[in-house]
């Protein structure tokens, strides 16, 4: 059983919403956020990445950063840039990218279901990043950005969503990256009760994107519960902001890799070693056309790598992932990247940046070699989560990204 619950969303007036909505805090660095928000006092980056309003040299985990987040969040509300809806609502959030639409239910999910595995995870979280989100949720008393969840598509839910979208939307704007964002506010009590009942039939939800946000939200619920002697289980802190998409709406892009050096090898030595586990061919193709194939860029030349038979077990749900094949047969044994979560010699480049970004960072000499990947499938993600296993780091890159600040959930 999956719990979805309406809530009194905190959101911007129609004319401010396009200026306020911002990319998630974790898909851009401080300097990128500073540039994007330059001259825009409404940008929600002032709340989700408040270091942009402080000395650029400040540590991202400095207490002053969280204090600034709280200050800016309160200022947004004082200025009337964010206002609470008077009644609990569900919200339908539609995004259109390159003509392809994904439609999700924005709601609150139960923190308890994170712990009891009704909401399944497929990634490990990093303690420093989880602590960062925990502090941000605590000081702002809100879920500033939604968790991106998915579920096996259900016809009855699809029909209900389609019917509700016949009404005039509350927001309809296109962001600077060309993605269209449309929001409907659903206050009809009968519709809300029916959609709640439909989702209660779904046994499992899956975290697609936002593992640190969901972990922080679940942890803050436990903290607040311990602090409240009158705890009932119905308090807002027991629920966190999420958008739930049917699995067949989602688009996973490639999540590419780049390594700073060849681990002491010459290019000729490296290519010979790669050839032991992969068929290596020079090519003009920059992206692999199928699984178990990889693009490799080095010194102005693209190569096609095809994993040889015996280099992986096709029955192993983790080992047969392309990210695992590359890690186990090349990055670790040849380039010495033992733990990609912590090794500073490897970097990860989301597919949204394109293969030109791979070429650029190699051509500039910042990296010695880059790899373009075939995307992980949503079926692979669900199968691994169902098996209680964990994907390798940086296995999936979902697009489009949910905007923070479209609707906010406050914990009181």
Residues 289, 239: one domain? no
Flag whether 393 is in a domain.
no
Residues 247, 322: one domain? no
Residues 204, 267: one domain? no
Q: First CA to last CA across the chain, in angstroms?
A: 25
Residues 260, 232: one domain? no
Which residues share a beta bridge with 305? 280, 294
pLDDT at 352: 86
Residues 107, 247: one domain? yes
pLDDT at 97 over 90: yes
- How confident is the model over 110-129, as a mean pLDDT? 92
Flag whether 51 is in a domain.
yes
Flag whether 343 is in a domain.
yes
Residue 200 CA to residue 3 CA, distance in Å, equals 6
Residues 220, 301: one domain? no
pLDDT at 392: 85
Residue found by looking up tokens 């919403």 in the block: 17
Listed residue (342, 344, 385, 398) closest to 366, CA to CA:
344
pLDDT at 281: 98
Residues 164, 36: one domain? yes
Flag whether 352 is in a domain.
yes
DSSP E strand boundaries for 264-394:
278-283, 293-298, 301-307, 346-350, 369-372
pLDDT at 336 over 90: yes
pLDDT digits (tens, 9 = 90+) for 251-308: 889 999 999 999 999 999 999 999 999 999 999 999 999 999 999 999 999 999 999 9
Residues 245, 267: one domain? no
pTM, two decimal places: 0.89
Residues 312, 332: one domain? yes
Flag whether 392 is in a domain.
no
- How confident is the model over 359-386, as a mean pLDDT? 95
Confidence of residue 341 (pLDDT cuts 50, 70, 90): confident
Confidence of residue 362 (pLDDT cuts 50, 70, 90): very high
Which residues share a beta bridge with 244? 105, 149
Residues 208, 263: one domain? no
Q: Domain holding 262: CATH number?
A: 3.30.1760
Residues 194, 329: one domain? no
Confidence of residue 125 (pLDDT cuts 50, 70, 90): confident
Collapse the DSSP code of 135 into the 3-class scheme (helix H, G, I; strand E, B; otherwise coil) and give the result. Answer: helix
Contact 344, 259 (CB under 8 A): no
As for how many domains the chain has, the answer is: 2
Residues 128, 220: one domain? yes
175 preceded by a cis bond (ω within 30 of 0)? no
Contact 224, 235 (CB under 8 A): yes
- How confident is the model over 352-363, as a mean pLDDT? 95
pLDDT at 351 over 90: no
Range of the domain at 313: 255-374
Confidence of residue 27 (pLDDT cuts 50, 70, 90): confident
Flag whether 384 is in a domain.
no
pLDDT at 123: 85
Flag whether 47 is in a domain.
yes
CA 294 and chain centroid, separation: 24
Flag whether 147 is in a domain.
yes
């Amino acid at each position: 059983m999956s719990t979805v619950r309406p809530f009194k969303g905190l959101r911007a007036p129609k004319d401010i919403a396009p200026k306020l909505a911002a990319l998630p805090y974790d898909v851009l660095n401080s300097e990128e956020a500073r540039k994007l928000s330059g001259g825009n006092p409404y940008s929600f980056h002032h709340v989700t990445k408040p270091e942009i309003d402080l000395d650029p040299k400040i540590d991202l985990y400095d207490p002053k950063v969280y204090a600034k987040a709280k200050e800016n969040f309160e200022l947004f509300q004082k200025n009337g840039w964010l206002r609470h809806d008077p009644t609990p609502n569900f919200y339908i959030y539609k995004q259109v990218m390159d003509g392809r639409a994904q439609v999700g239910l924005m709601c609150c999910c139960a923190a308890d279901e994170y712990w009891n595995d009704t909401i399944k995870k497929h990634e490990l979280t990093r303690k420093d990043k989880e602590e960062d989100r925990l502090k941000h949720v605590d000081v702002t008393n809100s879920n500033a950005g939604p968790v991106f969840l998915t579920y096996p598509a259900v016809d009855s839910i699809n029909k209900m969503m389609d019917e509700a979208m016949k009404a005039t939307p509350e927001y309809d704007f296109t962001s600077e990256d060309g993605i269209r964002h449309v929001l409907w506010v659903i206050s009809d009590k009968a519709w809300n009760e029916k959609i709640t009942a439909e989702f209660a039939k779904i046994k499992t939800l899956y975290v697609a994107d936002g593992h640190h946000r969901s972990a922080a939200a679940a942890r803050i619920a436990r903290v607040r519960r311990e602090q409240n002697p009158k705890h009932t289980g119905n308090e807002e802190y027991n629920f966190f902001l999420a958008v739930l998409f049917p699995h067949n709406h989602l688009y996973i892009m490639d999540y590419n890799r780049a390594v700073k050096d060849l681990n002491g090898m010459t290019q000729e030595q490296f290519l010979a070693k790669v050839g032991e586990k992969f068929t290596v061919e020079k090519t003009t193709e920059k992206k692999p056309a199928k699984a178990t194939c990889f693009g490799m860029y080095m010194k102005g030349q693209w190569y096609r790598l095809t994993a040889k038979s015996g280099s992986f077990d096709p029955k192993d749900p983790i080992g047969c992932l392309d990210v695992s094949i590359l890690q186990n047969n090349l990055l670790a044994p040849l380039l010495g990247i033992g733990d990609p979560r912590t090794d500073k010699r490897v970097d990860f480049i989301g597919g949204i940046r394109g293969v030109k970004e791979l070429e650029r960072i190699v051509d500039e000499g910042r990296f010695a070699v880059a790899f373009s990947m075939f995307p992980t499938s949503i079926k692979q993600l669900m199968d691994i989560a169902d098996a209680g296993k964990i994907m390798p780091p940086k296995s999936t890159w979902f697009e489009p990204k949910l905007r923070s600040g479209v609707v906010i959930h406050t914990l009181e």
